[in-house]
Amino acid sequence: MAVTKAALKELLILAGVERAVVDALPSDAPMLRHGIDSLDFPSFIVVLEEHFGLTIPEAEAWELRTLDDFAAYLDARAPKA
């Protein structure tokens, strides 16, 4: 099952990012340049780890800049049901 950008946006909201910021976020744009701040980003990582049951190493997390990056990363690593 592919990870969708819509699902990632819902997880951003769960991580505490305002819906207006999430709704305006292009999937191919760097998140940290479009309203996601340095406190939101680690919260998003924690939510992803809990939701998908995996650990995202810090060095790898900071390489993921866009929702497209996160979708590809999670598709490749998330445990298959």
> What domain count does the chain have?
1
In the DSSP assignment, the letter for residue 33 is G
Q: What is the pTM (predicted TM-score) of this model?
A: 0.90
Confidence check: pLDDT of 81 > 60: no
Task: Supply the CATH number for residue 9's domain.
Answer: 1.10.1200.10
Confidence check: pLDDT of 78 > 70: no
In the numeric block, the tokens 């190493």 are attached to 57
Say what the pLDDT of residue 1 is: 57
- Residue 19 domain boundaries: 5-77
Q: How far is CA 34 from CA 9, 28, 54, in A?
A: 13, 11, 26
Say what the pLDDT of residue 80 is: 61
In this prediction, residues 14-30 reach a mean pLDDT of 95
